[in-house]
Chain A
């Protein structure tokens, strides 16, 4: 089965700082990769996804992520964070074959200080 690791549990940044959140997965086959964001008290929303093609994908609100297959990684980046980016970020993966279940990392809480 797949598993997802997010090593940063809580990240605190000042506004305008750059952000990189780590995500590593373990699975021997081909996967689809997702980043979701959960603002305080809200449901999960999709930030971006990767399933094939250009390994650098761009999402909403200035976020991007790079899939590095050799490292089993899908790190999320944003060049300049805003206070409104304060939220919890989840990396998720599903396999391109077999059961279509989504496996989530434990999440990274981002706090942006004005």
Chain B
């Protein structure tokens, strides 16, 4: 999916391990978002950023941290993974013009054992 690249695509972790998911964009959008997608629950916003150096909590931020040191990158960290964090994680980007859609990455499937 041109514009938004997520790495890795798949990962299996053990409970208590840490990891970082990377989202990189080449569309120069200000806004970046991290969502998790769980069956029957749609997409829920974890954290988001309205610009370089800024982050904010979304609907389900507990257990996650984020950083946006560079405009094009938005990192999602799990400090101590828990089985409840097994999910598919999507990064999205969006312009400041709010009637324009967000663009999504291909997702990261994360399993916590």
Contacts and interface: CB of A to CB of B under 8 A. Distances in A.
Contacts of B50: 100
Chain B interface category by residue count: 20 to 34
B42 A102 contact: no
B92 to A, nearest CB: 8
Given A43-B1, A43-B104, A49 B99 contact: yes
B42 A107 contact: yes
A43 B90 contact: yes
B96 A43 contact: no
Contacts of B43: 44, 90, 104
A104 B73 CA distance: 24
Interface string A70-114: 000000000000000000001000111000111111110000000
